[in-house]
Amino acid sequence: MSRKICFLPVILLFLTFQVFAQHEPEIIMPEYNFAPYFAATVPGEEESSIPKNILNNEFYLESLRLNKLAQEAYDYGDYDASAKYAEEAIRYARLSDEYVAVKLIEEAKRLLHWADINNVVKRYPNKYNDGKKYYEKAVAAHSNDELENAIIVAVKSIEILSLLEAAMGKTAVLPKQYTVRTWAAEKDCLWNIAGYPWVYGNPDKWTELYEANKSKFPDPNNPNLIKPGMVLDIPSIKGEVRQGMWDSSLIYQAP
């Protein structure tokens, strides 16, 4: 799939130029439905794997405007003005490619971070490694100013990692640790912490936390004395899988 802005040839003596703007990678999308990230369609064009709010960015729209002006100036016979407009259109098309590449790499990075937090590599090692490989290639291509290639491999990374996100149900593995917050704001105490749905969902289970973390308390004989910043281990009591630190930005499924 290729999106190009083709400018009318401007002939000054024997000079002919053609402007190519934003390029989309030729990607064949699978039959299955991706995350909403891939739901966009570019107006008037075939379905795209890049969201239209990224693809139709301000730089791309400006390149279209300048392209139109170049065409009008050429039709009017003002070849000097047409050439200047076309040159500016090329510059803005390049800025558009840079913008698209950066946004796609950021999304691939977000998905890879999600996969790392949830230890996706343990369940889907091959797919995870493929997604990570394409992400690293996208970063390298962008660093080398190979924008079209950066866009292509970033899209591949996003496709793979989005499928893994969908397969995992977008819910994180239950946390194995929790950093105590303040009583004033969050009312953190063993009773309340045990009641969090991603801990045990039952305040009566506070003793499980106490026994597992007693040695960390300022006074091991006083379960009421916990301080903000303490890292509590959350032992598994139903055979549930736990790993990593609790993250407020993640969605957890109750054990």
Residue 96, pLDDT score: 94
Which structure tokens are listed for 69?
């002006």
> Does residue 10 surpass a pLDDT of 50?
no
Burial 47-75 (b: 16+ CB within 10 A, else e): ebbbbeebbbbebbebbbebbebbbebbe
Burial 170-187 (b: 16+ CB within 10 A, else e): eebbbbbebebeeeeeee
Distance separating alpha carbons of residues 111 and 165, to the nearest angstrom? 8
> Does residue 253 surpass a pLDDT of 50?
yes
pLDDT confidence band for 19 (50 / 70 / 90): very low
Residue 118, pLDDT score: 73
For residue range 171-194, what is the model confidence (pLDDT) as tens digits? Answer: 667 899 999 999 999 999 999 999
pLDDT confidence band for 48 (50 / 70 / 90): low
Residue 121, pLDDT score: 84
Average pLDDT value over all residues in the chain: 80
Distance separating alpha carbons of residues 136 and 121, to the nearest angstrom? 16
Question: How many CB atoms lie under 10 A from the CB of residue 119?
Answer: 14
DSSP 171-218: -BPBPSEEE---HHHH---HHHHHHSTTTTS-GGGHHHHHHHHGGGSS
> Does residue 142 surpass a pLDDT of 80?
yes
Residue 47, pLDDT score: 52
For residue range 226-243, what is the model confidence (pLDDT) as tens digits? Answer: 999 999 999 998 888 888
pLDDT confidence band for 254 (50 / 70 / 90): low
Domain 171-255 belongs to what topology? Membrane-bound Lytic Murein Transglycosylase D; Chain A (3.10.350)
Average pLDDT, stretch 72-100? 93
**Residue linked to tokens 């698209």:** 100
Amino acid identity at 8: L
DSSP 132-171: HHHHHHHHHHHHTT-HHHHHHHHHHHHHHHHHHHHHTTT-
